Amino acid sequence: MSTKSTPVKRRPGGRSARVQDAVYSAVGELMATKRPDQITVPMVAELAGVNPTSVYRRWGDVDALLEEVAVAVFTREDEKLPDTGSLSGDLGAWAGSIAEDIVRPHRTRYLRAMVNARDGVLASGCPCWNARREQLAEMISRARTRGEEAPSVEQVLDHVIAPLYHHVVFAMPIDRTYAERLVADVLSMRQRERV
């Protein structure tokens, strides 16, 4: 099975990269022991060994910082898209991998922190959701090039990714088998639409 890298944003270099890494690490450490609403910018800055003004200047507030860290955690630079030769195989492997990743305790905390940091509807959407949308667009485009019938990107987001994230946020069980069942459901939905 071959894999293809997804495009990623370049990380800042030099001092900026060191500050970002220190701050991200501090947020990770704090998330291991505290609820998101207990974390403050001064706490993060102290643990990261940076001036609180640097954190405020770059992120504005703790909610924006928590969301950025959560998005970074859920859209890792080393993430690969499966290329199994079929959409069913690609989506099953992709969704199963996401399911196994987001049930790890620190990933679960980040996902819940990201949800907790939300205040109202974002007009631009969620960066993590947008990254998943780009990944799906690539896999679905590849499938259609092979001549496969494929659901829309939105159908897969709504019927595969949304239930996975929903289950984690509300502490409901998920695993690779559940993710693969969601994929089978969305693919069969597409078949029913053709009839």
Domain ranges of the chain: 10-60, 74-194
Burial of 93 (0-12, 13-18, 19+ CB in 10 A): buried
CATH T-level fold of 74-194: Tetracycline Repressor; domain 2 (1.10.357)
Q: What is the pLDDT of residues 106-164, one digit of tens each?
A: 788 777 777 776 666 666 667 778 889 999 999 999 999 999 999 999 999 999 999 99
DSSP H helical ranges for 32-126: 41-48, 52-59, 62-74, 87-102, 105-117
CA distance 154 to 29: 35
Q: What CATH number belongs to 10-60?
A: 1.10.10.60
Tell me the whole-structure pTM to 2 decimals. 0.74
